[in-house]
Structure 1
């Protein structure tokens, strides 16, 4: 069942990518972060599918399981940042310090296969949340808050009439992805992100 939904999500994202390329009204500075967000989401969906297929499976698949988890935990907090860049690039210019937590998560995740900081895949190929899994959660929440705050700032500065819609989409993304953090086997996050990206575009 999950594989079917992953396929649907990826198909929708590829369709959105096609819409972006054919949209002449959207300038390049907006298209690029949109494409980055789409590509990141596709990679994360594939990574999550990889963990679903390999977890508790053959011990020969343990390496793939680890790689998929590393990719998922590293890239997931980057999605809100990519969406933020659709509206404003200030986080890359005047707010670079806000990215420190993201780099901390990258390092902690990269070291997790050895030290089990964020997650660990044991000798039986079973996934276990690490003692510092909360670091990933905190970083993800920080980046989601950055998305909401910058969306509000840009909306007020430019008097966007759809600011309520943008904030609503941000909150929808937060709620949708939070469900999977609380219930890790729900696999709802990327359906919500896919839908949010589609709604952001339209």
Structure 2
């Protein structure tokens, strides 16, 4: 399913596939360790190996899922910590520091069992921060989900710490990965692939279910076709990304930002609507700063209209579009004088 997913980049696909493979291995090792525990001594090495792989691999699932979002470069330090932990875990086996298996082939926890919990939770916290960053980056409304997932894992881990005979940690990790995969799929379906803003489908779903007061803004890049024809589509894409970044940076804290067409954008402003003029001015200043690096960046026309709960949203869109084209026409006239 992850392999054939067209919404994900190849690195993200590989991360999910690897995490699911690890979960499969961990699940098998969990079953084997339960079966081997207490059996004749000839199964001692199987008990040791299955427990080692379970303890060693479980923290990596959260790490790999987090790295799928944030990238490996941002998590190098954590990678080396996990590698060092796995090496220490292997060295500690004869001494039973983290876990051990007695001569009677009975599993027991060592005095440093807490180190495993620390490493495990370190991976979970890392994943939590990456999910929070992802939801903010892509303006996802369901921002409670990461915390619910985190609480689920803490709950499951606490149960297993209190009662070692209840094997639920791997089950929680499996559930986490499945929920996370579904969550990311849903998230990327709502996002424009080029700019990272919410896409046209998200825009339509949002405005036609709007049940609160808001300010609707529309943006159109002036003479964008000329940029594509003169400098090529690569420069055109660069300009689109730059405009989208400016929109999100200026308006993102106050509402939702969308790409609704080739060179058209929209914002639904829920907060600070009374400061609309100063916010628009800040956006124009931001574009001016960007032109120091991208001289080909065109001007952007803006129109806006206030929406009150119960208004006809199509009338509000028409009003905002009309103001935007009036703005464009007025500026064109000023430039020609």
Q: 1:25 to 1:153 in 2, by over 3 A?
A: closer
State the alpha-carbon separation in 1 of the partners of residues 143 and 19 from structure 2.
20
Structure 1: gaps of 5 or more residues: 1-18
How far apart in 2 are the matches of 1:74 and 1:193? 14
How far the C-alpha of 1:127 sits from its partner, in A, is 0.8
| Mean CA deviation greater in 134-143 or 179-188 | 179-188
Q: What is the CA distance between 1:177 and its match in structure 2?
A: 3.3
- 1:110 pairs with 2:85: no
Trace 1:21-170 onto structure 2 (pairs within 5 A): 21-89=3-71, 92-170=72-150
What is the TM-score when the length of structure 1 is the normalising length? 0.82
More RCO (CA 8 Å, sep 6+): 1
Determine the C-alpha separation between the residues in 2 that align with 1:175 and 1:190: 13
1:132 is displaced (CA, Å) by 1.1
Change (3 A) 1:178 1:85: farther
CA distance in 1, matches of 2:5, 2:107: 42
Given that 2:67 and 2:75 are in contact with CA atoms closer than 8 Å, whether structure 1 keeps it comes out as: no
CA distance in 1, matches of 2:85, 2:4: 35
Q: Aligned-pair distance for 1:74?
A: 0.6
Q: Which moved more, 1:65-74 or 1:96-105?
A: 96-105
Match of 1:191? Answer: 171
Structure 1 residue 110: deviation in Å?
A: 0.7
Structure 2 counterpart of 1:13: none
**What residue is the counterpart of 2:286 in the other structure?**
none
Q: CA deviation at 1:71?
A: 0.4
Whichever of the two has the greater Rg, that structure is: 2
Give CA-to-partner distance per residue, 1:106-147, whole Å, 9 cap, x none: 022111321212111111101111121111111111111111
Q: Would the alpha carbon gap of residues 137 and 162 (structure 1) be closer, same or farther in structure 2, given more than 3 Å must change?
A: same
23-32 or 174-183, which deviates more: 174-183
- Please identify which structure carries the higher helix content: 1
